[in-house]
Amino acid sequence: MFKIVGVINYLFVVFLNAFTDLGHKIIIQNTIFKVYDGSTQIVLTAIVNALILLPFILVFSPSGFLADRFPKNKIMQYSALFAVLITLGITYAYYHGQFVFAFTMTFLLALQSAIYGPAKYGYIKELFGDKYISGGNGAVQAVTTVAILGGIIFYTVLFESMYQDNFTSEAEILQAIAPIGWLLVISSILEWFLTSKLPNKMRARSCKKFNLKKYITGFYLKKNLKTLTRKREIFEAVIALGLFWSISQVVLAIFGEYAKAELGVTNTIYVQGVMALAGIGIVVGSIMAAKLSKYYINLGISGLGSIGITFIVLTIPFIHSMAVIAVMFTLFGILSGFILVPLNAYIQHLASSIHLGTILAANNFIQNIFMFSFLLLTTIFAYFGMNAEVLFYLMGGVGIYLVYILFKRYDVDIFWALMEILTAFRHKYIYHGLENIPEDKAVLLLGNHVSWLDWILLQLPLKRRINFMMDKDIYHWKWLHPLFKKGEVIPLSPRAFKDALKEASKRLKNGRIVGIFPEGGISRDGKFGEFHRGYELIAKDYDGVIIPFYIDSGIFGSTFSKYKVKNAKLNPFKRREIHIYFDEAVSKEIKSQELKKIVEKIRDKYEAK
């Protein structure tokens, strides 16, 4: 992925963009932290965040139009040039102690980002392509977070080193830290230079035209929102991201006051440092999410992430140790990466190239409407005396709703994501021949049976769900029956044998994947058992293929295998390496003995290496 021309340059641009934007925000927030207390501090912090969000709402239509109409690298280049002018104005405000002017410039810096955003994120799909879209999103999210983390630490340390306890006004503080403004200017100039070197990836020139009257009257707003809602999957992913960012925004806005009032912490390095740990977590979480999306966009991990952040938000008010809260913020960041990477990748994947900029701008619009509304409520609640602890509980309630909507859409994906994470602690699965499984045809998977986990390890690399054939007695196990039913397992018994085969045939005709273990049971001696010929009776009139598979002996001797290796010395801390081979398609007329020989050949070929 990193060998693609322009990728490294682009990631540096992403870093500098976030690093510069955050630098000024940190200066303003730290100034507020030093001068104000209580509800006034929460209100002013919320207003700063609102000024950052408002431009994304106001320029929704123009930013989407620009990203679709012109090459995205050029939009980034001119936006970066605009940032140079803005940071010069910010530096002027610092040197002259003009807090209100500097406060207002936060809006202009955010306006530049709002125009920049759809082009920056739309460029991911153009630069990385669908093959690396999850990895690209993971890299961008990680780099952005490193920039935020670095910015928080770097600018806060600089701020504290220049701050003196005898300062009593905003003007005194800004004039003392004024040289920091030149760092913002230098970062903007470097970003502008790097954007000028990005390759143009626009495939077809757009002929769209922008009508100012339609923008003012709201015509574009309605049209673009209609484009967003056209695909329900995209719209639901956008709503989920909006709820997540709302929770995160409010938590960050109220944590400073909570740390001061409840924990007695007044040093901004400690407060910003704890919040920066969420940034470290996002880097780790984004990398993990990209790995978990190695074979396809793993939407299930977004549901797991929502459960985790909800639990953390509800737990923080009960914790009175900054060290423990630091750990919780780190976990919050990791789980945030689980939410951000797959949902953003999914939106970009589903969006057509011609409307990509508009949809990403609409994504920004909806998310910022959510965040702006939540910050407004936070401001109102704080004004009427509601403390940070209560606001944590309210955000926990929002988190519960986020969990609900993600489970409603991705419940099956969430289950498989959980299985993948749990099994990864002990096993490392290596897949061979995945290219032999067609994406648009029915597939009958036939192979050996070595453990209770075979159904999991066969499913993990496949986006399409396998309908396994299972013994009816196991299918009706009390606690697992709802799970088997949800997974569309086909129950099999001597009495209902023909019905099971008819159901398998029906699903194959519908283009599904059906998995059968012809041995009929898990190997007890590490050898192949007899391959029964029941599968031969499935009707052959489906549009698809038979794919033989072989699972190697890596799992033998484990708790999940019936074959216990004698005198085996097992390291409990070492992950088992298990190889799964999918062979080329064979004739639908293949007999059980021929099938067994093919699977044996796969085994022999593997063992010969």
Number of domains in the chain: 2
Alpha carbons 562 and 559: distance in angstroms, whole number: 8
Spans of the chain below 50 pLDDT:
none
How large is the angle between the packed helices 133-162 and 268-292, nearest 10 degrees? 170
Q: Is residue 485 part of a domain?
A: yes
* Residue 371 and residue 498 share a domain: no
Domain end point (choices 424, 440, 462): 424
Q: How far is the CA of 414 from the CAs of 406, 411, 465, in angstroms?
A: 9, 5, 13
- The predicted-structure confidence for 136-189, as pLDDT tens digits, reads as follows 888 888 888 788 777 877 888 888 888 777 777 888 888 888 899 899 999 999
Residues paired with residue 577 on neighbouring β-strands, in sequence order? 428
Alpha carbons 254 and 82: distance in angstroms, whole number: 31
Q: Is residue 1 part of a domain?
A: no
Contact 350, 233 (CB under 8 A): yes
Q: Is residue 214 part of a domain?
A: yes
Contact 458, 582 (CB under 8 A): no
CATH number at residue 234: 1.20.1250.20
Task: Classify burial at 573, counting beta carbons within 10 Å of its beta carbon; exposed 0-12, middle 13-18, buried 19 or more.
Answer: exposed
Contact 337, 284 (CB under 8 A): yes
List own/partner pairs for 32-40 with CB under 8 A and 24 or more apart. Answer: 33/256, 33/268, 33/271, 34/163, 34/167, 34/173, 34/268, 35/168, 35/169, 35/170, 35/173, 37/260, 38/257, 38/261, 39/382, 39/383, 39/385
What is the pLDDT, as a whole number, of residue 512?
A: 94
Q: Which domain holds residue 442?
A: 427-607
Backbone dihedral region for residue 38 (phi beyond 0: left; psi -120 to 50: alpha; all else: beta): left
What is the pLDDT, as a whole number, of residue 332?
A: 93
* Residue 49 and residue 103 share a domain: yes
* Distance linking the first and last C-alpha atoms of the chain: 29
Three-class HEC string of 363-386: HHHHHHHHHHHHHHHHHHHHHCCC
Domain end point (choices 376, 399, 424): 424
What is the pLDDT, as a whole number, of residue 397?
A: 92
Strands 466-471 vs 442-447: parallel, antiparallel or unpaired? unpaired
Q: Is residue 2 part of a domain?
A: no
Report phi then psi at 232, rounded to 5.
-60, -35
Contact 68, 360 (CB under 8 A): no
* Residue 334 and residue 311 share a domain: yes
* Residue 355 and residue 268 share a domain: yes
What is the pLDDT, as a whole number, of residue 20?
A: 85
* Residue 477 and residue 414 share a domain: no
* Residue 449 and residue 420 share a domain: no
* Residue 369 and residue 507 share a domain: no
Looking at residue 384, its amino acid is: F
What is the pLDDT, as a whole number, of residue 492?
A: 84
Residues paired with residue 466 on neighbouring β-strands, in sequence order? 513
Q: How far is the CA of 383 from the CAs of 42, 43, 130, 372, 388, in angstroms?
A: 9, 7, 47, 16, 12
Contact 448, 519 (CB under 8 A): yes
What is the C-alpha radius of gyration for the chain, rounded to an integer number of angstroms? 28
* Residue 157 and residue 299 share a domain: yes
pTM confidence score: 0.74
Residues paired with residue 578 on neighbouring β-strands, in sequence order? 429
- Identify the H or E element spanning 119: helix 99-128
Q: Is residue 63 part of a domain?
A: yes
What is the pLDDT, as a whole number, of residue 192?
A: 93
Helix, strand, coil distribution of the chain in percent, nearest 5 = 70, 5, 25
* Residue 431 and residue 417 share a domain: no
The residue with tokens 């890596």 is 554
* Residue 545 and residue 517 share a domain: yes
* Residue 268 and residue 145 share a domain: yes
* Residue 362 and residue 432 share a domain: no
Domain end point (choices 424, 447, 472): 424
